[in-house]
Amino acid sequence: MRHNLEQTLLDKITDTPTLAARIQTWKAEGKKIVFTNGVFDLLHLGHITYMAKAAELGDKLVIGLNADASVKRLKGESRPVNDQSNRAAVLAALFFVDGIVLFEEDTPRDLIVTLMPDILVKGADYTIENIAGAKEVLANGGEVKTISLVEGYSSTSIINKIRANSVTG
């Protein structure tokens, strides 16, 4: 019989102070903390591959998830398709994700400075100079890495395909 699986998933989704305390505990245990962030609106193969590769770089994978207001500013009024609670719950279901925290700002720079991961990861469509929080992580002795994206996958392209099919179908 499974223990309370729903509670286990919900425990991954937390606020910044709680996650910062967890990270300090993990670091005291010698764990290497990896951080990445994104919208993760419609989870697809590109997201899964990217996050799995990020998780392999350390012991604990922490996700900064853009809150709904941030997504609207960055992607437009029609986004996100899934609200922040749904997106966080789906990410929590991934076995290689250890912590999820929402952020309201357009970039996770302040969140990264607070959490101070050992490794900061973004997609290879970013240069290290353009990654929010990179300067601070490097100054703290951490690493910044980019991961190649799986070609042909994006939430925007999936949404556009659905819209095109609904018009023609």
- The CATH class for the domain spanning 5-168 reads alpha beta
pLDDT for res 6: 77
Provide the phi-psi class of 66: left if phi over 0, else alpha when psi is between -120 and 50, else beta. beta
Calpha distance 123→66 (Å, rounded)? 16
How close are the terminal C-alpha atoms of the chain, in Å?
44
How confident is the prediction along the chain (169 residues), in pLDDT tens digits per residue? 556 777 777 899 999 999 999 999 999 999 999 999 999 998 889 899 999 999 999 999 999 999 999 999 999 998 999 999 999 999 999 999 999 999 999 999 999 999 999 999 999 888 999 999 999 999 999 999 999 877 766 666 766 677 777 766 5
pLDDT for res 40: 94
pLDDT for res 2: 57
What are the sequence ranges of the domains in the chain? 5-168
Task: Report yes or no on whether pTM surpasses 0.85.
Answer: yes
Calpha distance 134→3 (Å, rounded)? 39
